[in-house]
Amino acid sequence: MPWQNNGNGNGDKKNPWGSGGPKRGGGSNGGGGEPPHIDDIIKKGQEQLQQFLPGGGKGIALIVLVAIIGWIGSGVYRVEPNEQGVVLRFGERTELTTPGLHWHMPYPVETVEVRGVTDEKTISIGSRQTVSRRSGRVSVASLDESLMLTQDENIVDVRFNVVWRIKDLGDYLFRLQDPDGTIKSVAESVMREHVGKNRITPIITTGRGGLEEQSLIDIQRTLDAYGAGITILRVQIIESEAPAEVKDAFLDVQRAEADQQKSRNVAAKYANEEIPKAEGQAAVLLQGAEAYRAQTVNRAEGEAARFLSVYNEYAKAKDVTRKRIYLETMEEILAGMDKIILDSNAGSGVVPYLPLNELGKKKSAGN
């Protein structure tokens, strides 16, 4: 449809293309000329395009072909060894891709989300990072997260980090609306549960390792139940202590308990030294008593056997046995004594005794 001149035909008003153009049938460039048809404009543009593209319609087809090839090639993507990729078709997850070179249908049909899955990430519970102009990043306590109630109804300030990484990128992106917030909430809840099952002393002294292990297991179990696609690597307790308001008093209690434990250790050491010693002495006494008992019993049994043998001989020849027993007894009695023999029948001119002891001394001196 040609443009119409809405003026009065005297050529004073310009048409939309500038000054008045030539009429379709030719003629001068005078005012009031009719503007060109849109078909003429398109035809003129095609003629100009053909000047730049030799071959006419084939050149246009070549441009279209190159554009199609480029569009198809835009679907090529690479997944690095530390990454996973998720292909989305109109926003819906369709495929989980592993490291390597892959292709997906170009945008807007499909898109791909590639994330690192071996990178370790850390979430802090009980503290938050703030930026200071003088000292850079500073950790500031978040008491609404760190203050927890123990089994013995004490309040403890626990600050810890949870180190994690992505296990399944598809689950990580589509199962949780806020993965970081979910991990933080689950970790805080689990830690509060385990702190509530323990007394304050092991929590701030020797029980940290066990608390970290138990918390890691339960956090992982909860996230697996959510299908979060996350692996918990470590739970690290940064600080566990009494609140600042009662910290000094609690330290005094700790020192008293330490002194008590020290005294118990000293007493246990003394007991460990003295009890074995006493047990050894008792064993020696028991062994001595057993030896004495065996010796006495054996002696008694021997004397009884000897008495029985003597009695048997005595029963066979009473006079002979009686005299032999008498002589043996006198021999035992007089063996270590000085002996003098007196003869009551000796005459008056003879010395009435025989000094055997003096004779024995002279004999020994002569030798």
Alpha helices in 147-246 (DSSP H): 169-174, 179-195, 200-204, 208-226
Distance CA(40)–CA(23), nearest Å, equals: 13
CA-wise closest residue to 78 among 99, 94, 96: 99
Distance CA(142)–CA(125), nearest Å, equals: 8
Q: What is the CA radius of gyration of the chain?
A: 60
Hey, where are the domains in the chain? 121-242, 246-336, 337-367
pLDDT in tens, the chain (367 residues): 444 444 444 444 444 444 444 444 444 444 445 556 777 777 776 666 666 555 555 666 777 777 777 777 666 777 777 777 777 777 767 777 777 777 777 778 777 777 777 788 899 988 766 545 565 555 566 777 888 888 888 888 899 999 999 888 878 888 888 888 999 999 999 999 999 998 888 888 888 889 999 999 999 999 999 988 899 999 999 888 877 777 777 778 778 888 898 999 999 999 999 999 999 999 999 999 999 999 999 999 998 998 888 788 778 888 887 888 888 888 888 777 766 666 666 555 555 555 656 665 655 665 5
- Element housing 45 (H / E): helix 38-52
User: How far, CA to CA in Å, does 134 sit from each of 77, 130, 131, 137?
Assistant: 44, 12, 9, 9
Distance CA(32)–CA(198), nearest Å, equals: 100
Q: Which numeric CATH code is attached to 121-242?
A: 3.30.479.30
Model-level pTM greater than 0.75? Answer: no
